[in-house]
Amino acid sequence: MKKRVLVSGGAGYIGSHVTVELIQAGYDVVVADNLSNCDLTCFEGVKKITGKDDIPFEKIDCCDYASVDRLFSEFRIDAVIHFAAFKAVGESVAEPLKYYRNNLLSLLNILEAAKTHGGCNVLFSSSATVYGETDKLPVTEESPRQPAISPYGNTKQICEDILRDTVKATAAYGNEVMPGIDKPGPVKGTALRYFNPIGAHPSALIGELPRGVPNNLVPYITQTAIGKRECLSIFGNDYPTPDGTCLRDYIDVVDLAKAHVAAVARMLEGRMAEDYEIFNIGTGRPVSVLELVNTFEKVNNLKLNYRFTPRREGDITAIWADPSRAEKELGWKAQRTVEETLAAAWAWEKHLAGKE
C-alpha cells in the first residue's frame, strides 16, 4: 500500500514544491493549509505539474486541535511534514505573541494527534537561524545553537526541542509505528535545518509568492527586474568578506524538496539511526549578495537597478552549511547550480507578470 504523507502548510512556497516531489516519488499526499499567507495558486500549479487532479486539500488551521484530530481520523497518515508556521522575522519582533501562539500551538497539535493515533513520523521544517552568528564555518549539526535574536528564530529552537522531547517520551509506547485510531504510539522526528531557500520549479508553475514588499533577497531581485520595485538595496558592503557583502548558502527549492523526500523515506523505511535526527540542508557553498546579483544579471541577460545601503539590523556576516551528514545518511546532495536556480526564479516572476 502506498504511504500517505500529510503536508501541513502544503499550499505555500516550500510546501508546494515538496508536494510535487512526494507525488512524483510515489507517495499519497494530503495537503492541509489555512491559506493565511498564500492562496491556491501554487496548489493549482502542483496539480498541473503532477497531472493529478484529485490531491486531497483540507483548509484547516493546525492551531485548532479538533481539525487536526479529524484529519488523523479520516486518513491513515504515515508521516507528517510540518511547514505550517509564520516566517517573517521583522513581524515576529513586532508581534511575538502571534508567532509563539501560531508556531508552537500548530506543532503541539500535530504531535498530540500523531501520538494519539498510533504514532507517526514527523518531519519539522527548521532553519539555520538556530546557529546564529559564529566564526566556526561551515556549521555542522553539532555546532551549538545560539540564543535567538527574533521570536521567529526562537520558535524554531523551541519547536525542535518540543519534537525532541516528544520523541523521547513516546519511545516508551513501543517500537512499532502502528497507525490506528485512539492508540497511543511512538513519534519519530526529523528536523531539517534549511539555509536560504530560493528559486522556483523549472516548470515556472509554482514559486514564491511574497505578500507586499519582500523581505528576502531573491524575490526582491526578481520584483526589481520586472519593474515592481524601483531599486534593490544591498544591505551593507563593509562586512569582513571578500567583496564586503554578506555570505549565505542559497539552496534551490527543488533540491530542498528532494531532501524532504529522502528524509521521509528514511523514516518510513525504518532506516533512522536515532529516533530524533537533525540534518543541515544546504549546498556547502557560500555566495555573497553581490555575487548573487551579478549572476542573476548574467544568466538572465539583464541589468538590475541596485545600490548599496547601510547594514540591516540583525543580519549576520556569513553562514553556510556543512551538508555532509545529509549526503552520507540521506544520500541527498544539492544538484542545481546557482545559475539554474536564478533562471528559474526569473522565469517564475515572468510567469506571474503574464497572469496580471
- Rounded to 5 degrees, what are φ and ψ at 232? -80, 130
Q: Which of 13, 83, 131, 220 binds ligand WQD (CB under 6 A)?
A: 220
CB 89 → ligand WQD: shortest distance, Å? 5
Site for ligand WQD in 279-308 (CB under 6 A): 289
- Using CA atoms, how far apart are residues 248 and 227, in angstroms rounded to an integer? 26
Mention every residue, 6+ apart, whose C-beta is less than 8 A from residue 27: 2, 3, 4, 5, 261, 264
- The answer to whether 234 contacts ligand WQD (rule: CB under 6 A) is yes
Query: Which residue of the set 13, 27, 99, 152 is catalytic?
Result: 152
- The answer to whether 166 contacts ligand WQD (rule: CB under 6 A) is no
Question: Of the listed pieces 55-63, 64-72, 227-235, 330-338, which binds ligand WQD according to CB under 6 A?
Answer: 227-235
Residue 191's nearest CA partner among 215, 146, 218, 155 is: 155
Which of left, alpha, beta for 132 (phi over 0: left; psi -120 to 50: alpha)?
A: left
Strands (DSSP E) found in 223-352: 232-235, 247-248, 250-252, 276-281, 287-288, 306-309
* Count of residues that bind ligand WQD according to CB under 6 A: 18
Confirm whether 152 is a catalytic residue: yes
Question: Of the listed pieces 64-72, 180-188, 210-218, 294-302, which binds ligand WQD according to CB under 6 A?
Answer: 210-218
User: Which grid coordinates belong to 194?
Assistant: 534549511
Contact 312, 235 (CB under 8 A): yes
CB 284 → ligand WQD: shortest distance, Å? 16
Q: Which of 65, 75, 173, 235 binds ligand WQD (CB under 6 A)?
A: 235
- Using CA atoms, how far apart are residues 86 and 12, in angstroms rounded to an integer? 11
- The answer to whether 92 contacts ligand WQD (rule: CB under 6 A) is no
Binding residues for ligand WQD (CB under 6 A): 87, 89, 127, 129, 196, 215-217, 220, 232-235, 246, 248, 289, 312, 315
Q: Which residues are catalytic?
A: 152
